[in-house]
């Protein structure tokens, strides 16, 4: 190892993984490299996807309920219109 190598310090950030090389004499940064992006764990991915699926199920149920309410209102209006005409409505479910 040469004398110049002894005066350069390599410092790695434990949080982001960035590595910098500092000159011991001048205390200047000689070089820096950004750390590799932290990959999401498989468990985190599963949790996020499970929440997304639950959200979709909730939205689907709400939409189905709204459509049922619309159908019921239309059925009531249909029956009301026929009762006003004096005829018996034929309603199929």
| Higher pLDDT pick, 89 / 25 | 25
Give residue 81's pLDDT. Answer: 84
Give residue 1's pLDDT. Answer: 40
Give residue 60's pLDDT. Answer: 93
Give residue 93's pLDDT. Answer: 62
Digit-coded pLDDT (tens) for 53-76: 999 999 999 999 999 999 999 999
Structure tokens belonging to residue 71:
């159908």
- Distances from the Cα of 77 to the Cαs of 11, 73, 92, in angstroms? 76, 6, 15
Instruction: Answer whether residue 7 shows pLDDT above 90.
Output: no
DSSP code at position 9? E
Instruction: Answer whether residue 2 shows pLDDT above 60.
Output: no
Give residue 42's pLDDT. Answer: 87
């Amino acid at each position: 190892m040469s004398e110049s190598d002894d005066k350069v310090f390599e410092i790695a950030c434990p949080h982001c993984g960035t590595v910098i090389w500092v000159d011991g004499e001048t205390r200047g940064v000689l070089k820096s490299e950004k750390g590799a992006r932290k990959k999401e764990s498989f468990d985190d991915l599963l949790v996020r996807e499970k929440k997304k699926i639950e959200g979709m199920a909730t939205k689907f149920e709400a939409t189905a309920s709204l459509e049922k309410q619309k159908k019921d209102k239309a059925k009531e209006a249909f029956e009301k219109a026929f009762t006003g005409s004096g005829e018996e409505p034929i309603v199929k479910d």
